[in-house]
Each structure stands twice: as structure tokens, then as C-alpha cells.
Amino acid sequence: DIQMTQSSSSLSASVGDRVTITCRASQSISSYLNWYQQKPGKAPNLVIYAASSLQSGVPLRFSGSGSGADYTLTISSLEPEDFATYYCQQSYSTPYTFGQGTKLEIK
């Protein structure tokens, strides 16, 4: 199985901050990397797919980058509604696997 490791389990930030969440795969996953936002009691919501493609309807302050085994999700200027848990996921090969999640909290 491909292991996905997010650098932080939690992150504190303020409204207006620029935030970067990183994710590392145990091998190259050729940009088959998705990012999801999950709020309490809700299903995950796709934010970025194929490493850098913005899902329709997602604000432009979200962006993704990376290649090989290393990927990042950046929020350019945090809004109150962005405080949530973010998961990376590799869809390069089955079993598809997720990172452990990064909880973005208000400082």
C-alpha cells in the first residue's frame, strides 16, 4: 500500500493568513493526488484534484502543487469558513489511501 503522510496533524492560523499543508507519499504517485476538506458531521468535499486542478465551485484562494511524492495545499488568505480538517488522498493505485488529516484551527 502507498502510505500518505501529512506533515502536521493540526495547524493554528488566523483569518487572512496564508497557510500551506504538506503531504508526502511513500512513492511517486504521478500527480494522482486529491485534497478534501471536511467539516464536523459532514462528508469530505473535494477541493483539489490531480495535484493542482481546482474543483468547480471552490474559491480561487485554494491551490495545489507538487509532483512525484511531495504535494502541498495552499490557502492564500484564510476565511472563517476554511477552518476544517484537510485530507490528502492518492488515487494512483488501489488501495487508495488517505493522509491522517490536518485540522486547521483558529489561532
- Rounded CA separation 57/37 (Å): 13
Q: Is 99 in the site for other proteins (CB under 8 A)?
A: yes
| Among positions 24, 54, 65, 96, the unique one binding other proteins when judged by CB under 8 A | 96
Burial pattern 23-42, b for ≥16 Cβ within 10 A else e, equals bbbeeebebbbbbbbeeeee
Q: In terms of Cα–Cα distance, which of 49, 61, 41, 53 is closest to 87?
A: 49
Q: Is 1 in the site for other proteins (CB under 8 A)?
A: yes
Pair 15, 81: CB distance under 8 Å: no
Minimum CB distance to other proteins, residue 45 (Å): 7
> Nearer Cβ to other proteins, position 17 or 24?
24
Q: Residues 32-51 vs other proteins: string with x where CB under 8 A? A: x-x-x-----xxxxx--xx-
Taking CB under 8 A as the binding criterion, the range among 19-27, 30-38, 59-67, 76-84 that sits at the site for other proteins is: 30-38
Distance of CA 25 to CAs 30, 73, 84, Å? 10, 14, 22
Residues that bind other proteins (CB under 8 A): 1, 32, 34, 36, 42-46, 49-50, 53, 55, 87, 89, 91-92, 94-101
